[in-house]
């Protein structure tokens, strides 16, 4: 069940787990848009997390229901999920009531005009302080918590500022083109040009 801020069920969601279902059904399946269930205005788990978000003055945002449930069970109770959508202005306005500090635990791509990047730009425009929880190996929070909850807690502690994340990601992405991830002079002119395309708009 997806519950609104007033603890009323507004819709339902599920996640496919079986390997044989991959490609046939979406990873997450939701109630369609209704008058009661508006995905762009819904943050899964906020009814349970809002007190802890206010107390800790930070909200940890994940993408899926199971990510939020697993993180909550590991002791991270200030966590909400966007239910697979990009961050929206209505969601951010709701969050603003509880904290100006946001940790994102999304699959982030610094290159290109990704929906995640646009959501973060919206959050920055509304005055949020944003940090990125860097997850390795393409894993999501649910996988990490299942393997080792302490790894998840360490990743939260080591969250990077958004600028630090963009810089490190851009340099490591192009270091294979003949340079070092530290951004030294060994980078090729082509790599430097591609890095500047990513970082200059951010700056």
Work out the average pLDDT over 89-112.
87
Q: Are 2 and 9 contacting, i.e. CB atoms less than 8 angstroms apart? A: yes
Q: Are 84 and 40 contacting, i.e. CB atoms less than 8 angstroms apart? A: no
Question: Looking at 44-58, 64-78, 97-111, which range is the least confident one?
Answer: 97-111
Work out the average pLDDT over 37-62.
94
Q: How confident is the model at residue 81 (pLDDT cuts 50, 70, 90)?
A: very high
Q: What is the pLDDT of residue 60?
A: 97
pLDDT at 130 over 70: yes
Question: Looking at 22-36, 132-146, 158-172, which range is the least confident one?
Answer: 22-36
Q: What is the pLDDT of residue 109?
A: 65
Q: What is the pLDDT of residue 75?
A: 96
Q: What is the pLDDT of residue 73?
A: 96
Q: What is the pLDDT of residue 6?
A: 85
Work out the average pLDDT over 35-52.
92
Nearest C-alpha neighbor of 46 from the set 100, 89, 93, 2: 2
Any idea what the Cα angle at residue 48 is, between residues 108 and 70, rounded to 5°?
A: 50
Residues pairing with 103 in the sheet: 60, 131
pLDDT at 107 over 80: no
Greater pLDDT, 80 or 165: 80
Half-sphere exposure of 57 (CA within 13 A, CB side): 2
Half-sphere exposure of 31 (CA within 13 A, CB side): 18
Q: Could you tell me which residues come within 8 angstroms of residue 132 by beta carbon, excluding any fewer than 6 positions away? A: 103, 104, 108, 159, 160, 161, 162, 165
pLDDT at 93 over 70: yes
Q: How confident is the model at residue 176 (pLDDT cuts 50, 70, 90)?
A: low
- Which helix (H) or strand (E) segment is 132 a member of? strand 129-132
Q: What is the pLDDT of residue 181?
A: 47
- Which helix (H) or strand (E) segment is 80 a member of? strand 79-81
Q: Could you tell me which residues come within 8 angstroms of residue 200 by beta carbon, excluding any fewer than 6 positions away? A: none
Q: How confident is the model at residue 19 (pLDDT cuts 50, 70, 90)?
A: low
Burial per residue of 128-163, b for 16 or more beta-carbon CB atoms within 10 angstroms, e otherwise: bebbbbebeeeebbbebbeeebeebbebbeebbebe
Half-sphere exposure of 44 (CA within 13 A, CB side): 27
User: Phi first, then psi: what are they for 8, rounded to 5°?
Assistant: -105, 135
Q: What is the pLDDT of residue 62?
A: 93
């Amino acid at each position: 069940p997806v519950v609104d801020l007033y603890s009323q069920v507004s819709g339902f969601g599920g996640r496919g787990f079986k390997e044989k279902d991959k490609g046939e059904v979406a990873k997450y399946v939701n109630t369609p848009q209704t008058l009661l269930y508006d995905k762009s205005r819904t943050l899964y788990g906020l009814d349970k997390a809002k007190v802890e978000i206010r107390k800790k003055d930070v909200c940890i945002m994940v993408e899926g229901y199971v990510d939020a449930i697993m993180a909550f069970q590991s002791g991270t109770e200030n966590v909400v999920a966007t239910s697979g959508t990009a961050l929206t202005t209505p969601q951010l306005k709701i969050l603003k009531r509880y904290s100006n500090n946001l940790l994102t635990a999304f699959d982030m791509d610094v290159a290109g005009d990704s929906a995640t990047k646009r959501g973060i730009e919206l959050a920055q425009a509304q005055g949020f302080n944003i940090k990125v929880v860097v997850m390795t190996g393409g894993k999501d929070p649910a996988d990490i918590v299942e393997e080792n909850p302490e790894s998840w807690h360490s990743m939260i502690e080591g969250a990077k500022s958004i600028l630090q994340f963009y810089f490190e990601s851009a340099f490591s992405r192009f270091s294979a083109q003949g340079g070092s991830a530290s951004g030294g002079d060994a980078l090729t002119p082509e790599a430097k040009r591609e890095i500047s395309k990513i970082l200059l708009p951010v700056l």
